[in-house]
Amino acid sequence: MAVLAVCAAPLIASYFMYYVVKPKGGVTNYGTLIDPRLYPIPPMASTMLDGTPATLDNYKGKWIMLKVGPSECLQECQDQLFAMRQLRTMQGKEMERVERVWMITDNEPLDTVLMRVNDGTRMLRAPAAVIDKWLPLEQGAGAGKTADKVSDHVYLIDPLGNLMMRFPKGAVSSDTEKVRKVHKDLSKLLKASGIG
């Protein structure tokens, strides 16, 4: 009986902890986790700024912070690009594992000053219709709120090429408190991951 009790104790304790003693805190991530099976990266005719064909597959093996939007990059867009650069730098020695990609959804010319300021950000042109169908938005915007757009968010793609996280609208911005939360998520992922 003693041997049976010793063998059964861990099983009984695990059921007790799961059903009776509820863990505190719950969700610890700031970004929303995405089931990559529901949002596989679609084939798209994306190119570099000079017209050379290039896709997100070119950056497989690294964590990709993905921003999308038109070439007219107003203040909010510029804040996102700046925060992405800062987030990568904040990773210290792990920063080489992170790539920044801006998928531009039109064919208008880019401001050369903007290109210089964001040197190191991979800029690809991609069809807006494909991007809009692929990337998920926040649910339940509700009455009185402005419509959610994919350009409001920054997404995270893992080194295997799976879309796996979406940061809330305005998270990757000039708001340092929100950027700290995004940094915490990214740091945890890099620390826990043996890939990329």
Three-class SS of residue 110? coil
Tens digit of each residue's pLDDT (9 = 90 or more) over 80-90: 999 999 999 99
Quote the pLDDT of residue 147: 63
Quote the pLDDT of residue 14: 81
Tens digit of each residue's pLDDT (9 = 90 or more) over 107-148: 999 999 999 999 999 999 999 999 999 999 876 544 444 567
Residue 113 has phi, psi (to 5 degrees) of -65, -40
* pLDDT of 24 over the 70 cut: no
* pTM, entire model: 0.82
Provide CB contacts within 8 A for 123, sequence distance 6+: 48, 49, 101, 102, 104, 110, 115
CB 196 within 8 A of CB 159: yes
* pLDDT of 20 over the 90 cut: no
Tens digit of each residue's pLDDT (9 = 90 or more) over 90-104: 999 999 999 999 999
Phi-psi region of 13 (alpha: psi -120 to 50; beta: other; left: phi over 0): alpha
Q: How many helices (H) and strands (E) does the chain have?
A: 5, 7
Looking at per-residue pLDDT, the higher value among 12 and 156 belongs to 156
Quote the pLDDT of residue 12: 86
136: number of Cβ within 10 Å: 16
